[in-house]
Amino acid sequence: GRTHILRYFALKWALCFLVGTLTAAAAFVANLGVENVAGVKFVVTSNLMLERRFESAFTVFLASNFLLTMFATALTVYVAPAAAGSGIPEVKAYLNGIVGCIAAVSASLHVGKAGPLVHIGACIASILGQGGSRKYQMTCKWLRYFKNDRDRRDLVTCGAGAGIAGAFRAPVAGVLFALETVSSRWRSALLWRAFFTTAIVAVVLRALIDVCKSGRCGLFGKGGLIMFDVTSGYINYHVVDLPPVITLGVLGGVLGSLYNLFLDKVLRLYNVINGKGQTYKLLLAATVTICTSCCIFGLPWLDACKPCPADSEEACPSIGRSGNFKKFQCQPGEYNDLASLFFNTNDDTIRNLYSSGTDHEFHLSSILLFFLASYFLGIFSYGLALPSGLFVPLILTGAAYGRLVGMLIGSQSTLDHGLFAVLGSAALLGGSMRMTVSVCVVMLELTNNLLMLPLVMLVLIISKTVADAFNANVYDLLVKLKGFPFLEGHAEPYMRQLSVSDVVTGPLQTFSGIEKVGHIVHVLKTTGHNGFPVVDEPPVSDTPELYGLVLRAHLLVLLRKKDFVSSCTASAADASKHFSPDDFAKRGSGKHDRIEDIELTADEMEMFVDLHPFTNTSPYTVVETMSLAKALILFREVGLRHLLVLPKSSKRSPVVGILTRHDFMPEHVLGLHPYLFKSRWK
């Protein structure tokens, strides 16, 4: 009825509100944690450095990084394996995601907060969409309205967008991120809800930051959520600045695709190592954190000290944990520019690189060294068994790369080096992630300067185009590495040469409208299919007729309830009355019924069950002569899991096959038709 619909609507929006609020809270806690933990670490180390007790400083630095890394890895390895990637959405994974993320980022590893926050946002959405976690007795009746795939998927999409919005304080970018990467299908109503969710994130974050203004949040101050201000309000650029910007884009594309290539190789290696056991995971993380700490602490010693600029507004050398002018080993009145980059949190370093009017603050050699170190540290840090993101390391490395190009070009261009750093970040992000629109908006919202939009767009377009010529984007690489059956959005050209009957395989398992229990149990035990066509046969109908599609999950519910009838002709008209919609509600992930768990007596096995009330009578269908490419479009655009194949001629059985995602995968299709390999690119 109407109240039901209204309640459902209100619930949808309330859940978006909750997802937004909780994700914002998570983002805030993550930032608060990082700023305080990393802050204390840097303050203690810096103070020891000031006293010129360099060995103790290094010991403290190395030990704290090591402990934090081990803590994050242990959390992931022993408590919630899913926090290291996408996986079981549980309260545990959510909490561990935050704590682990704080520890990992505070440990000066070259990993970002954005990835974990996206995961946390999606987790929150998933938990709420399931009506709470059953394991922890946190289910909620009210949320049972939400037991279907599409609503949950939408909510998770909103959650992922909220994660990006929270990580960068960039609500519009969050919406676009969800649009570009997460959702395979998109509707206007979803856009609107995603927008609402990220708006809530922005508002809640702002309110929480207001609370902290009075200084009650420890070291969490201005440096909190990254919001870099390229301080020069008005940026001036002209046609003459195009050649350097284009160069930046082209090189950024090359570097980005190389990044993906290296990352792929390193992750394959790490997968092998991590696969050997939990100890190996810990050992790997330990190795990387020790190397990172040595780099960060050691490399600045190579650098010559610079005298402090006379007209600097900031204290030089810097006091406290952040700042552009780290003293490190230098004499009073001097600063170590490489330490200003290495010996800071990622956020602070990015701010240093982005700030304008600092063209002479850094040596060319420092920037080059920092760029190289950052590039490879980022690649070697991502695959560890701890919550880590790629976004921030790419921004950081890109900023160094941009400055480097700006310095090399020198007086050829009038652009500020801070602007070059911003464009460099865009170039590297475009070259590695290829999500142009959302990356563009992230950069704009980060720097809060729309005037640089055309330049950012140009750089992104060039770097993406260049990088696309070499390899796939980083997400596709990751998905392939994890082995998920990810279906491409477009049909491959060779699919036009095939019809669906060319890829249908295996014996088709169908059920009669009123089917013997024993047969159902046998089929469920011997196949892994999740959907079965239901065909009415005489005497129920005149000729064999397709009745619909029944799901494995629903069959299991029927078997569990044991609502059987004694003969195959008896029509149990009211069978559905014995069930409530809740019985068929989709369970949360990891909570599937299994056929092995259902015990039936021999008598029961001889009985029948009427499938009619539980069958989807409107399955999507294609004729067997349909082109595979067009069937794929239907499959993708409507978001199907099963597609029934009907015969062309009426003389055969009413259904000749069933297509699932697996049947459209290039490996399967090319496995059946290897001669198409050579025409793959035609």
Edge-first strand listing for the sheet containing 531-536: 511-512, 531-536, 545-551
Q: Are 656 and 623 in contact (CB under 8 A)?
A: no
Q: Are 146 and 15 in contact (CB under 8 A)?
A: yes
3-state secondary structure of 168: helix
Query: Judged by CB, which is closer to its own copies: 99, or 631?
Result: 631
Query: Judged by CB, which is closer to its own copies: 232, or 509?
Result: 232
Give me the least distance between CB of 566 and its own copies, in Å please.
Answer: 29
- Single residue of 304, 450, 570, 573 touching its own copies by CB under 8 A: 450
Of 484, 487, 422, the residue nearest 456 (C-alpha):
422
Give the Cα separation of 532 and 122 in Å (integer).
Answer: 31
- Single residue of 1, 215, 507, 528 touching its own copies by CB under 8 A: 1
Give the Cα separation of 229 and 351 in Å (integer).
Answer: 8
Cross-strand pairs, 565: 608
Q: Applying CB under 8 A, does 448 fall inside the site for its own copies?
A: yes
Give me the least distance between CB of 331 and its own copies, in Å please.
Answer: 38
Query: Judged by CB, which is closer to its own copies: 120, or 182?
Result: 182
Give me the least distance between CB of 632 and its own copies, in Å please.
Answer: 11
Q: Which structure tokens are listed for 631?
A: 């069937």
CA dihedral over 143, 146, 149, 153, signed as positive or negative: negative
Q: Which of residues 609-668 bind its own copies (CB under 8 A)?
A: 617-618, 620-623, 625-627, 630, 633-634, 637-638, 646, 648-651, 654
Query: Judged by CB, which is closer to its own copies: 204, or 517?
Result: 204
Q: Applying CB under 8 A, does 248 fall inside the site for its own copies?
A: no
Angle at the Cα of 472 (from 668 to 242), degrees rounded to 5?
Answer: 155
Give me the least distance between CB of 204 and its own copies, in Å please.
Answer: 9
Total length of the chain: 682
Residue type, 259: Y
Where does this chain touch its own copies (CB under 8 A) — which range of 39-47, 394-402, 439-447, 598-606?
439-447
Q: Applying CB under 8 A, does 436 fall inside the site for its own copies?
A: yes
Give me the least distance between CB of 186 and its own copies, in Å please.
Answer: 6
Of 552, 496, 539, the residue nearest 679 (C-alpha):
496
Residue 124, C-beta contacts closer than 8 angstroms, at least 6 positions apart? 18, 19, 22, 23, 26, 94, 159
317 cis-preceded (ω within 30 degrees of 0): yes
Give the Cα separation of 102 and 40 in Å (integer).
Answer: 13
Give me the least distance between CB of 35 and its own copies, in Å please.
Answer: 21
Q: Which of residues 534-553 bind its own copies (CB under 8 A)?
A: 542-543, 545-546
Q: Applying CB under 8 A, does 302 fall inside the site for its own copies?
A: no
Give me the least distance between CB of 622 and its own copies, in Å please.
Answer: 7
Give the Cα separation of 175 and 190 in Å (integer).
Answer: 10
Q: Which of residues 590-609 bind its own copies (CB under 8 A)?
A: none
Give the Cα separation of 213 and 198 in Å (integer).
Answer: 22
Query: Judged by CB, which is closer to its own copies: 250, or 305?
Result: 250
Give me the least distance between CB of 202 and its own copies, in Å please.
Answer: 4
Query: Judged by CB, which is closer to its own copies: 654, or 657?
Result: 654
Query: Judged by CB, which is closer to its own copies: 398, or 654?
Result: 654
Give the Cα separation of 118 and 156 in Å (integer).
Answer: 10
Q: Other C-beta atoms within 10 Å of 580: how many?
A: 10
Q: Which of residues 456-475 bind its own copies (CB under 8 A)?
A: 457-458, 461, 464
3-state secondary structure of 524: helix
Q: Which of residues 166-205 bind its own copies (CB under 8 A)?
A: 171-172, 175, 179-180, 185-189, 191-192, 195-196, 198-199, 202-203
Give me the least distance between CB of 452 and its own copies, in Å please.
Answer: 11
Query: Judged by CB, which is closer to its own copies: 380, or 635?
Result: 635
Query: Judged by CB, which is closer to its own copies: 51, or 637?
Result: 637
Query: Judged by CB, which is closer to its own copies: 191, or 408?
Result: 191
Where does this chain touch its own copies (CB under 8 A) — which range of 42-50, 94-102, 436-444, 514-522?
436-444
Residue 127, C-beta contacts closer than 8 angstroms, at least 6 positions apart? 89, 90, 91, 94, 133
Query: Judged by CB, which is closer to its own copies: 180, or 348?
Result: 180
Q: Which of residues 208-227 bind its own copies (CB under 8 A)?
A: 210
Query: Judged by CB, which is closer to its own copies: 421, or 441?
Result: 441
Give me the least distance between CB of 644 and its own copies, in Å please.
Answer: 9
Q: Which of residues 323-352 bind its own copies (CB under 8 A)?
A: none
Q: Are 39 and 323 in contact (CB under 8 A)?
A: no
Where does this chain touch its own copies (CB under 8 A) — which range of 293-301, 380-388, 406-414, 453-461?
453-461
Give the Cα separation of 470 and 451 in Å (integer).
Answer: 31
Q: Which of residues 481-510 bind its own copies (CB under 8 A)?
A: 489-490, 499
Phi-psi region of 333 (alpha: psi -120 to 50; beta: other; left: phi over 0): left
3-state secondary structure of 648: coil
The HSE-up count of residue 110 (CA atoms within 13 Å, CB side) is 30
Relative orientation angle of helices 453-468 and 436-447, to the nearest 10 degrees = 150
Query: Judged by CB, which is closer to its own copies: 358, or 499?
Result: 499
Q: Is 18 exposed, middle or buried (0-12, 13-18, 19+ CB in 10 A)?
A: middle
Give me the least distance between CB of 271 and its own copies, in Å please.
Answer: 28
Query: Judged by CB, which is closer to its own copies: 25, or 451?
Result: 451
Give the Cα separation of 411 and 127 in Å (integer).
Answer: 55
Q: Are 625 and 501 in contact (CB under 8 A)?
A: yes
Query: Judged by CB, which is closer to its own copies: 468, or 563?
Result: 468
Give me the least distance between CB of 671 and its own copies, in Å please.
Answer: 23
Number of residues that bind its own copies (CB under 8 A): 71
Give me the least distance between CB of 199 and its own copies, in Å please.
Answer: 4
Give me the least distance between CB of 93 and its own copies, in Å please.
Answer: 29
Give me the least distance between CB of 72 and its own copies, in Å please.
Answer: 32
